[in-house]
A = this chain, B = another copy of it.
Amino acid sequence: MNPSILREILKVTDRPGVLSLAGGLPSPHTFPVEAMREATAKVLADAPREALQYAASEGFGPLRDWVAAHLRGMGLKVEAHQVLITTGSQQGLDLVGKVLVDSGAPVAVETPTYLGALQAFSPFEPLFTSVASDLDGPLPDAIRALPHDAPGTRFLYVLPNFQNPTGRLMPEARRQAVIAAAQAARVPLVEDNPYGDLWFDAPPPPPLAARWPEGVVYMGSFSKVLAPGLRLGYVVAPPELFPKLLQAKQAADLHTPGFNQRVVYEVIKDGFLDRHVPTIRALYKTQRDAMVQALAQHMPAGTEWRVPQGGMFFWLRLPEGCPALALLPQAVAAGVAYVPGEPFYAHAPDSRTVRLSFVTLTPAQIDEAVALLGHVLRRHLNEDLQAPTP
């Protein structure tokens, strides 16, 4: 696996004139610019020296308190001293890798899984195990088999809410079964939840961490509900693990910018997200619906997908004979870009899978982009049919 595949792909898709369904960029229309303006002015007026000075590696106290209270509202048993503020939740993955992974240690992931996690863990040279998964998430039997298949597995990395790349949501029954299986197999979980707030009809079931506090490391992010350019996330760890993560955090970048932490705390402290996040949900739901329609109208027969109930992504399986990576240059030439699914697999990639984001383009652009993609696929399928048999 070459972890820079996606990076190289995204470079190509950045060309002007290309409608990109590739990037996972939140819509910039959702960024709370006015609130940020007020908050930065307030922080620089009230506590400029503190905001610009070195700060504690754990993070800004009031923000840690806020995160703990927010998570308790979701059913987690969390105290502020278990909350580590990170430079985006990507850094949470890096720190978990640093603390829990050694060269040759088995690490289990979903099939497929978030590419950024594979990239974050890879420098520590784990042996990845791809846990068999279906539309609801990893299969409990495959988790139960880990002690046999990959003895000493350090953890299973799971993204239960509107997963990147598949958009799938782990239902309540599967959550219970996954927890039971992980406990039976004595495999800790690393639960990543960047998209949980982006539900369209009903909030997701409570996190896995709410069911097994001592066995789950939980990660969250402000990137999707405020703005990713602030790079602000957090890790919640059982008390025994916390000091090691903190030490790794200190070694990694001393602390996350205090200025950013104070500004975000200033923005959110009085319930701003309760008013703001519903507007993001409404916007993304409209765009999701536009993609539902566009896919139904433009995709060739044999294309498979399930409608995501939240998050940012559709996951497609193209018809037989349509290799997603190989067709990307034709798609880009036609004016549309997507992310082939291959890099999201630790093993045995399904070459016909595709990730489409619906959060960056407008409904009209989504229709146009999907129409272009459908055209590229149909043309390819026709040429395939017309090609002389060798």
Chain A residues with CB under 8 Å of chain B are 3-4, 7, 23-26, 28, 31, 33, 36-37, 40-41, 44-45, 48-55, 57, 86-88, 90-91, 94, 98, 102-103, 116, 119-120, 122-123, 223, 227-231, 243, 247-248, 250-260
Contact = CB atoms under 8 A, between A and B. Distances in A.
Given A37-B41, A55-B229, A87-B253, A48 B25 contact: no
B33 A94 contact: no
A-side binding surface: helix, strand, loop or mixed?
helix
A102 B124 CA distance: 9
B36 A90 contact: no
A52 B25 contact: no
A255 B231 contact: yes
Given A231-B254, A252-B90, A256-B231, A25 B53 contact: yes
Given A41-B37, A259-B230, A260-B259, A31 B49 contact: yes
A7 B251 CA distance: 11
A255 B7 CA distance: 13
A33, A53, A86 interface centre (most CB from chain B within 10 Å) = A53
Contacts of A231: 87, 253-257
A97 to B, nearest CB: 9
Contacts of A256: 87, 231
Contact of A253 (B24, B28, B94, B250): B94
A54 B25 contact: yes
B53 A28 contact: yes
Nearest to A23: B54
Given A37-B41, A48-B31, A48-B36, A120 B227 contact: no
A44 B247 CA distance: 34
A52 B40 contact: no
A100 to B, nearest CB: 11
